[in-house]
């Protein structure tokens, strides 16, 4: 019986799958940790922003929108939050809201 892991292309594919599985596990653990931090510190707007970004990158735009809407009150991060909020609106097809929010992000960035 042949050991398919010794075939160079297959061995490389197996290593890639293993690496991707590990990365997915680490990402999931990071998401769970950030969700727990938001629950533990409900007034910490920077944690809401961080969780919103994670949801955004997972394609969970509606979940991200709720967090970004709260996190925009943090004046230090307002421009970045509004940018992600506008992109989230665009990704769910709310183009007018996306345009308006990205304009607000540009104005906040100039301040």
Residues in the chain with pLDDT < 50? none
Q: How many Å apart are CA 59 and CA 53, to the nearest integer?
A: 10
Q: How many Å apart are CA 48 and CA 74, to the nearest integer?
A: 10
Percent of the chain with pLDDT over 90: 68
Query: Per residue in 3-25, pLDDT tens?
Result: 655 666 777 777 887 787 777 78
- For residue 42, the 8-state DSSP code is T
What is residue 93's predicted lDDT score, i.e. its pLDDT? 97
Q: How many Å apart are CA 21 and CA 15, to the nearest integer?
A: 10
What is residue 12's predicted lDDT score, i.e. its pLDDT? 79
What is residue 21's predicted lDDT score, i.e. its pLDDT? 77
Task: Please list the helix, strand and coil fractions of the chain in percent, rounded to the nearest 5, in that order.
Answer: 80, 0, 20
Q: How many Å apart are CA 24 and CA 29, to the nearest integer?
A: 9
What is residue 2's predicted lDDT score, i.e. its pLDDT? 56
What is residue 4's predicted lDDT score, i.e. its pLDDT? 54
Name the pTM for this structure: 0.77
Instruction: State the Rg of the chain over Cα.
Output: 19
CB of 26 within 8 A of CB of 20? no
């Amino acid at each position: 019986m042949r050991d398919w892991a010794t075939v160079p292309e297959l061995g490389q594919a197996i290593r890639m799958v293993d690496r991707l599985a590990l990365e997915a596990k680490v990402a999931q653990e990071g998401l769970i940790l950030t969700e727990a931090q938001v629950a533990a510190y409900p007034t910490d707007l920077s944690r809401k922003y961080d969780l919103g970004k994670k949801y955004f990158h997972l394609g969970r735009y509606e979940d991200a929108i709720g967090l970004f809407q709260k996190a925009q009150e943090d004046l230090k991060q307002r421009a970045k939050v509004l940018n992600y909020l506008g992109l989230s609106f665009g990704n769910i097809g709310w183009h007018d809201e996306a345009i308006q929010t990205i304009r607000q992000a540009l104005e906040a960035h100039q301040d």
